[in-house]
Structure 1
């Protein structure tokens, strides 16, 4: 079941795919407590809205009279805490971010959680028994508020200087005169860890402030003219496509270029050229290998949802991926297990 994900991105017919997706934004915790048999996940902010749509569309394929097949549910990264993910399960602190979701998955069993949404790849500290199942492509760039001090483009070296506090004024980088206000998402964020790795495994300097929720431009700190903040390009495109809430939207932030390469196409989709570079990343769902390979009702359901021939890799799942701003993985890439 272990495969190597294909590097190339499939050409996507965006308009045709978008027409198959529900037009009402789907962003919320489960409306009712999931049953003990259901497939339930937590974790990444980057893919939480997409997974609520997955839940809506996948569950719609199951007849109301079907009381045997597990449904799919996903809890948002933020909200009231603690949570009880499903009936009969343990009550846990709500996991906010990829790392927190993976930790919660490994601290519980399938009576409480079945998967973790992850916008980061497997790390050496993750248990070997965790299966990182790939399903889409994303990229991370930097953002700044409209009308602020930042230039349109920064190099990787510039970003290193900003996040190690070597450069502290935008005039040093071709921008306006004023202090650079460098922000990072909350601890445990997959976007945070990926961004720091992409710019050279940087340890943030003392001038860097952590805390704004990832991929949300509504934090008042990010309206500062000097602000700079990493952002998921796919999530931003999903927001442009109308998948927003009062907090989960881009606010005044705009995405900026890295090394002269634009993260967006002229039609405001994730650029395959940008996603194919060093700032591109694969998105995953993390499952316990024992659960995923089990010859049980739950194991069958996990493979039917997440596997290479599963629902997420099928037509409606791919259409949802596109609508929410990401790029589907081609061929055997979707559903591949990568460590």
Structure 2
């Protein structure tokens, strides 16, 4: 059963240098030595929102402990990459670690609440998703293209430019064709199951990918050696990049030397380095979701109650505390009436 849809939401020069970062360790997976209990709320999937969900896990669980609540299910989230396979919770089936929105949603639907309770998703519902899934909205993001600081790419590209580049169109394979410095363009895309990948390609018109396009680098990891190239172009979550700039990083979950660039003359960042709401327009802006099974979301069980207490309109993520964390990690908050709504 479907519920109220999250509202649609309506982006100066490129950032020439990375914002100052603070080395703040981010949790990855449930803490060492912690095995989620069978009744706990456990998820996996999108790389884009994994650091944010790790923080929610830490803070939500601490809030229960501080309140003296020792019985309610805790929240845990498995990162998109790491040791493989994983056993998500006590008594669960061992599964391949889901890497990306699509993989998380597939794993959710291939198993039961004994294994996974939600999937992180940076993409919206697609026609191939089961109608029994609910996409629970909680934040806004945007996707732009990135390139190495000091490289050959220009400050701005249009939507058509991006379509031409990823089509490897004749006469459009050198940065000089777009006002940049001469150099053969190297278009990269994230892994196939990436929600950022599918969203970005849809936003630029779903081009037929040309032979010059390389797929595979983990999304939102600017430290990947393949991307440390003056001619590379790579899609990037604006919110995730801002979160990394705010110090929410690990050795690999880091923007590295990649800087965010403009599309159609609109900057993805404000002058103060936050996600530009004007860039988070209907073309390049997106809602972020946690996907759950409808039957469990509406159930009066312990787990159903916990799902709503975490992800629902009056739940932890949509609370004042949760919304502050969303901002800290680089994303925009949804209107109060949209946070926790489902499609």
Q: TM-score, normalised by structure 1?
A: 0.94
C-alpha separation in 1, matches of 2:86 and 2:236: 27
Say if 1:158 and 1:8 are closer, same or farther in 2 by CA, change over 3 A: closer
C-alpha separation in 1, matches of 2:277 and 2:25: 25
The root-mean-square deviation of aligned C-alpha atoms, in Å, is: 1.3
| 1:1-339 matches, cutoff 5 A | 2-8=3-9, 24-31=24-31, 32-63=34-65, 66-166=69-169, 167-338=172-343
1:124-161 per-position Cα deviation (integer Å, ceiling 9, x unaligned): 00000000000000000000001111000000000000
Contact 1:6–1:331 (CA under 8 A) maintained in structure 2: no
| Secondary structure of 2:119 counterpart | strand
Report the counterpart of residue 15 of structure 2 in structure 1.
none
| Secondary structure of 1:143 counterpart | strand
Of stretches 277-286 and 259-268 in structure 1, the one that deviates more from structure 2 is 277-286
Which stretches in structure 2 are left out of the alignment for 5+ residues?
A: 11-22
Displacement after TM superposition at 1:214 (Å)? 0.2
| Secondary structure of 1:150 counterpart | coil
| Secondary structure of 1:161 counterpart | helix
1:180-237 per-position Cα deviation (integer Å, ceiling 9, x unaligned): 0000001100000000000012232111000111001011111111100000000000
Displacement after TM superposition at 1:26 (Å)? 2.9
Report the counterpart of residue 12 of structure 1 in structure 2.
none
Contact 1:8–1:330 (CA under 8 A) maintained in structure 2: no
What is the total number of aligned residue pairs between the two structures? 325
Of stretches 23-32 and 83-92 in structure 1, the one that deviates more from structure 2 is 23-32
C-alpha separation in 2, matches of 1:184 and 1:221: 11
C-alpha separation in 1, matches of 2:223 and 2:7: 36
C-alpha separation in 2, matches of 1:87 and 1:135: 28
1:291-323 per-position Cα deviation (integer Å, ceiling 9, x unaligned): 100010110000011011111000111011000
C-alpha separation in 1, matches of 2:230 and 2:245: 22
**Runs in 1 of length 4+ with deviation above 6 angstroms?**
none
| Secondary structure of 1:332 counterpart | coil
Displacement after TM superposition at 1:8 (Å)? 4.8
1:38-67 per-position Cα deviation (integer Å, ceiling 9, x unaligned): 000000000000000000110111127533
C-alpha separation in 2, matches of 1:61 and 1:76: 22
Report the counterpart of residue 18 of structure 2 in structure 1.
none
